[in-house]
Chain A
Amino acid sequence: MTTVSAPHGAGLSRIDTTRLRADFPILSRTVRGGRRLVYLDSGATAQRPRQVLDAERLFLEQHNSAVHRGAHQLAEEATDAYESARARIAAFVGADPGELVFTKNATEGINLVAYAMGNSSVRTGLGPETERFAVGPGDEIVITELEHHANLVPWQELCRRTGAILRWYPVTDEGRIDLDALVLTDRTRVVAFAHQSNVLGSIAPVAELVRRARAVGAFVVLDACQSVPHMPVHLTSLDVDFAVFSGHKMLGPSGVGVLYGKADLLEAMPPFLTGGSMIELVRMESSTYAPPPQRFEAGVPMTSQAVGLAAAVDYLTEIGMERVHAHELDLTGAALDGLRDIPGVRIIGPDSLDERGGAVAFVVDGVHAHDVGQVLDDRGIAVRVGHHCAWPLHRRFGVAATVRASFHVYNTGDEVAALVEGVQAAREFFGVA
């Protein structure tokens, strides 16, 4: 963990990308017949540095064993590695280790909360402490129009199972949550929203939404998939009740995500998945369950992935999340400036750096996003095209698909320039320039 260079020169945003990129083997490969890879799709999945790959390999070569079972030396070492990973990741997001549950991904984290609430709503055989999670006919689940499908469909399903009503904050033309367009009521049980939109890049007014949710006694569920990898996030200070994020978007492995829940809530919440290692006492007739976080980690968990994610957290910590965010804002500013100047390009989302992160979505008049993406791909530039799992948001902006460029700490100004040049080339190729 020493290959990250110290800050060169003055200013928080200066990251020596030349040295840092050497940590990411994949960034030096070529694609499509010898083109240098320009990877601008970190919003979908980020690339992993050697330090993360090495940590996984070291664990598997030296310590691999099933955690929280067995009394042999490897079992001890594996359990220590797994719990050490939990503690380091918890510290990274300003939480206590006991408040962090490892899940398969962030999607599972949101489903865990939604299903725990659904289970609580069937008031049979669960303790009275679970009643606070129950929802029923006429209760409201509130989300926003900009949500990723992962923070939309699980709530639709919870509503379908319980008779609760799904409501949502609309989105303004600038790509912000329109706080004036919906009033929470004393029937609102959950307010769930993305910390940063995976399409627009806009950052939600968390404090205000938490204040409003508190005023009506609703739980706050934060989708932090696009914030935790890119900026300092202190979940305890944000005062949200639950939050989720995924490993593979923050330079870590896929197959591991995190659910954060306030200690007293996790303590009272019934399980989602059940089975081995989440139990306290099992008889043929019935069982009791372990305290959190184990209650929510049924079965042998992903372990090398958790270890790899902790290594990613160490890597990011060494760089400093303020610098990561500043670096990505530099790139975002350059992308907005370059794209704005191209005739026929429309930015979908805030056209300023105010309360914004490093995802830039846009459409090109007369050229479908797929076709723009194909021209970029031909030049070695990887972007996301489509609705980015936020179909209702695209509908709201009257477009079927957008092109999205998204950044991480390893991206450079030259790569942004290549993107802008590529978009120009797409217009020329399709004869709209």
Chain B
Amino acid sequence: MQLEQMYQEIILDHYRSPHRAGLREPFDAESYQINPTCGDEVTLRVKLDEAGEKVEDVSYETLGCSISQASTSVLTDLVVGQSVAESMRVLAAFQQMAQGRGTVEPDEEVLGDGVAFAGVAKYPARVKCALLGWMAFKDAVVRVSEGKETA
């Protein structure tokens, strides 16, 4: 059965008990992303440290399927506490895997629970679901740095 390949237990666990869910104060930037093909939404906030070099908190609200919710939950596990540069490396690796049509062998050292989404990559229609929260994170981080520049 192919269903279990896609919905690995890790994904279902994150879906049922998402990590760091909800929107929190304080935050440096917020991003709202939608998937226009299905109407799914995520609002995600990022808080960096004083120097703007380390991810201190990521909080979010999602209205979407199990894949987009679980993926956003996994994202917070992988990037909170990391340097901004490292979080962008993780993001790139996740994106590469998700868009790889199942041909990219994910590195568990980098992606942790994120490797569970390798099965999703075989379903092109669901790749956007898996990336929704990640795109919000990327956008929010860009907004923080832009905000710092103009401040």
Interface residues of A (CB under 8 A from B): 32-33, 367-371, 374-375, 378, 385-387, 391, 394, 400-401, 429-431
Q: Which of A371, A378, A401, A431 contacts B39 (CB 8 A)?
A: A401
Residue B100 interfacial (CB < 8 Å): no
Cβ proximity bits B1-36 to A, threshold 8 Å, 1 near / 0 not: 111001100001000100000000000000000000
Closest to A370 in B: B65
Q: Which of A367, A370, A430, A431 contacts B38 (CB 8 A)?
A: A370
B6, B12, B39 — most chain A CB neighbours (10 Å): B39
Residue B67 interfacial (CB < 8 Å): yes
Residue B66 interfacial (CB < 8 Å): yes
Least distance between B129 CB and chain A CB atoms (Å): 6
Chain B residues within 8 Å of A369, by CB: 38, 65
Residue B40 interfacial (CB < 8 Å): yes
Least distance between B100 CB and chain A CB atoms (Å): 19
Interface size class of B (residues with CB under 8 A): 20 to 34
Residue B52 interfacial (CB < 8 Å): no
Q: Which of B6, B38, B63 contacts A386 (CB 8 A)?
A: B38
Closest to A385 in B: B38
Chain A residues within 8 Å of B38, by CB: 369-370, 385-387, 400-401
Q: How far is the CA of A375 from the CA of B12 in the complex (A)?
A: 14
Q: Is the interface of A mostly helix, strand, loop or mixed?
A: mixed
Chain A residues within 8 Å of B7, by CB: 371, 374, 429
A370/B67 contact (C-beta < 8 A), A32-B2, A378-B1, A378-B2 known: yes
Q: Is the interface of B mostly helix, strand, loop or mixed?
A: mixed
Chain A residues within 8 Å of B89, by CB: none
Chain B residues within 8 Å of A375, by CB: 3
Closest to A368 in B: B65
Interface residues of B (CB under 8 A from A): 1-3, 6-7, 12, 16, 37-41, 63-67, 123, 126, 129
Chain B residues within 8 Å of A385, by CB: 38
Contact in complex: A429, B40 (CB < 8 Å): no
Contact in complex: A386, B65 (CB < 8 Å): no
A32, A386, A391, A431 — most chain B CB neighbours (10 Å): A386
Contact in complex: B39, A387 (CB < 8 Å): yes
Closest to B69 in A: A368
Q: Which of B6, B16, B41 contacts A431 (CB 8 A)?
A: B16
Closest to B35 in A: A386
**With A370-B66, A431-B12 already in contact, 8 other A-B pairs whose C-beta atoms are closer than 8 Å:** A368-B64, A370-B38, A370-B126, A371-B65, A378-B1, A386-B37, A386-B39, A430-B66
Q: Which of B6, B12, B39, B123 contacts A400 (CB 8 A)?
A: B39
Contact in complex: A394, B39 (CB < 8 Å): yes
Least distance between B83 CB and chain A CB atoms (Å): 33
Q: How far is the CA of A401 from the CA of B129 in the complex (A)?
A: 13
Chain B residues within 8 Å of A401, by CB: 38-40, 65
Q: Which of A367, A374, A378, A400 contacts B126 (CB 8 A)?
A: A374
Question: What are 27 sample pairs from A and B whose C-beta atoms fall under 8 A apart?
Answer: A33-B2, A367-B66, A368-B66, A369-B38, A370-B38, A370-B40, A370-B66, A371-B67, A374-B3, A374-B7, A374-B126, A378-B3, A385-B38, A386-B37, A387-B38, A391-B39, A400-B38, A400-B39, A400-B63, A400-B64, A401-B38, A401-B40, A401-B65, A429-B3, A430-B12, A431-B12, A431-B16
Q: How far is the CA of A370 from the CA of B37 in the complex (A)?
A: 11
Closest to A426 in B: B3
Closest A-B pairs by Cβ, 5 of them: A370-B65, A368-B65, A386-B38, A378-B3, A387-B39
Chain A residues within 8 Å of B3, by CB: 374-375, 378, 429
Least distance between B64 CB and chain A CB atoms (Å): 7
Q: How far is the CA of A367 from the CA of B38 in the complex (A)?
A: 15
Least distance between A354 CB and chain B CB atoms (Å): 29
Least distance between A143 CB and chain B CB atoms (Å): 20
Closest to B40 in A: A400
Chain A residues within 8 Å of B37, by CB: 386
A374/B6 contact (C-beta < 8 A), A387-B38, A400-B39, A401-B38 known: yes
Q: How far is the CA of A385 from the CA of B39 in the complex (A)?
A: 10
Q: How far is the CA of A33 from the CA of B6 in the complex (A)?
A: 15
Q: How far is the CA of A198 from the CA of B126 in the complex (A)?
A: 23
Chain A residues within 8 Å of B6, by CB: 374
Least distance between B16 CB and chain A CB atoms (Å): 7
Chain A residues within 8 Å of B41, by CB: 400
Q: How far is the CA of A401 from the CA of B39 in the complex (A)?
A: 7
